[in-house]
Amino acid sequence: MKSDIARPLNDNDIVVVESDFFRILSKIVLTFFELISIIVTMKERILYQKIWQKLSSYKNMVFLSGPRQSGKTTLAKIIARDFSSQVYFNWDDIPSKRALIQDPYFFEKVDRMDESIPLVIFDEIHKYSNWKNYLKGVYDRFAKEYKILVTGSGRLDLYQKGGDSLAGRYMKFHLLPFTYSELTNHQYSVPYFINHPFRFQEDNQTDYGLWDDLFELSGFPEPFLKGKKDFYRLWSNNYQHQLIREDIRDLTQIKKFDSLEILYSLLPLKVGNPLSLSSLNTDVQVSVDSVKTWLEVFEIHYLIFRISPWTHKIPRAIKKEKKVYLFDYAQINDRGIRFENMIGLELYRAILNWNDLGLGDFSMHYIRNKEKEEIDFLICKDHHPALLIECKLSDESVSSSLIKFQNKLDVPAIQLVNKQHVGRIVTNQKNKILIISAPRWLSFLP
């Protein structure tokens, strides 16, 4: 048999070459426009701008909270571009702080560019000891004359202790670090997603590289955009130290910062399992009450988030212990646990946003019984199960726990794997289970 290597091209070969060329070219063009879309989404935080647009249509102040260095100040300045006149105040800036103390209504002195309503941004104002009463006074006097945006690197709603002087005066929304579903910007509407949870991205349209970058670098803008693992490690260590030694020190009465840092350093090893306060109290050598209080402080300052067990219709269910997850998940060494945490953050972001928009009462839970059969995540709407989600690093075989608990709850079930090119639907009695590469499914998460 003669080799075809050295033979001259004929007309049929030219057609094939042209076909391959245009196929490759079209993929390059598509990839280029996908990249441009991601860059624009990344720069503009479009998902969160839409939430602001809805909430700011009401007369209330808008509270924007989220982890430190997640992009709140940048988003506030993006929002300010839509206002002809705006005033930016930052409590961490000494001249700004002096201006507020000397004249609480300092923003009235700023010249207006036209007759439209100005925007006043109060950044980190919760560090001011009298901030609630101050904002109450500003709102009651100027609600019709100014649009007010309040931002902070803590859970502003959880700072409301005792009598809430701001009740009924604000709407709130949350800004989290980058997630895959935000950056790909292909989201369906929430009602459509809930009713069609088996929709997923075509494999050749899925940006596995973006997913891998988020997996290794976290979604915090600075290390993610830097794109270097060594920089991420330096950033992460410094981030934890500053948040505990500066932010938490300034806003709490906690004195044992060494013990506080030890507690946080243990949490990456506890992710994905029901958290025993008594075991932590032994490890850190402080009281159980101290551990409980410190975990609440971590939650208020967006170092962690926790989810509760779901027990209804689950025989012998675990009922008390919550599971803990990190916002800075890339520090977790175990890749399977890191993957679960990453999925947890994607879902947590979505649920926060859906609640912020007033689309329902959404919550996230886990399921575990005393036989240690477990489902990683259960999404509920209005206190009713809506969707089961199980995470597997590479195992494509259907989880037996997923089969069992789907039959108990009679809801759709998804098994996400951290592996490329996976996409199957299998039957489980009258229900179905989707087994899918995680970024393919998360592309459409609203």
pLDDT digits (tens, 9 = 90+) for 62-115: 999 999 999 999 999 999 999 999 999 999 999 999 999 999 999 999 899 999
Q: Tell whether 164 and 303 lie within a shared domain.
A: no
Beta strand 413-417 with 431-437 is parallel
Does residue 1 belong to any structural domain of this protein? no
Does residue 4 belong to any structural domain of this protein? no
Q: Tell whether 277 and 306 lie within a shared domain.
A: yes
Per-position b or e across 71-80, b if 16+ CB within 10 A of its CB: bbbebbebbb
Q: Tell whether 333 and 408 lie within a shared domain.
A: yes
253 pLDDT tier (thresholds 50, 70, 90): confident
Residue with tokens 């609440």: 296
Q: Tell whether 164 and 194 lie within a shared domain.
A: no
Domain count, the chain: 3
| Distance of alpha carbon 334 from alpha carbon 337, whole angstroms | 5
Write the CATH number for 79. 3.40.50.300
Q: Tell whether 143 and 242 lie within a shared domain.
A: no
Residues in CB range of 226: below 8 A, 6 or more apart: 217, 232, 235
Last residue of a domain, one of 117, 145, 174: 174
Q: Which amino acid is at 360?
A: G
Does residue 290 belong to any structural domain of this protein? yes
Q: Tell whether 95 and 238 lie within a shared domain.
A: no
Entry pTM: 0.89
DSSP character string of 243-300? IIIIIIHHHS----HHHHHHHHHHGGGTTTSB--HHHHHHHHTS-HHHHHHHHHHHHH
17 pLDDT tier (thresholds 50, 70, 90): very low
Q: What is the pLDDT of residues 127-178, one digit of tens each?
A: 898 999 999 999 999 999 999 999 988 777 655 554 567 888 999 999 999 9
| Distance of alpha carbon 50 from alpha carbon 361, whole angstroms | 19
Last residue of a domain, one of 174, 200, 224: 174
Q: Tell whether 40 and 59 lie within a shared domain.
A: no
Could you tell me which of 401, 384, 383, 391 has the C-alpha nearest to residue 435?
A: 391
Q: Tell whether 170 and 198 lie within a shared domain.
A: no
Mean of pLDDT values over 329-340: 98
Q: Tell whether 165 and 267 lie within a shared domain.
A: no
Q: Tell whether 388 and 245 lie within a shared domain.
A: yes
Does residue 190 belong to any structural domain of this protein? yes
Which residue segment(s) compose the domain that 36 sits in?
Answer: 9-44
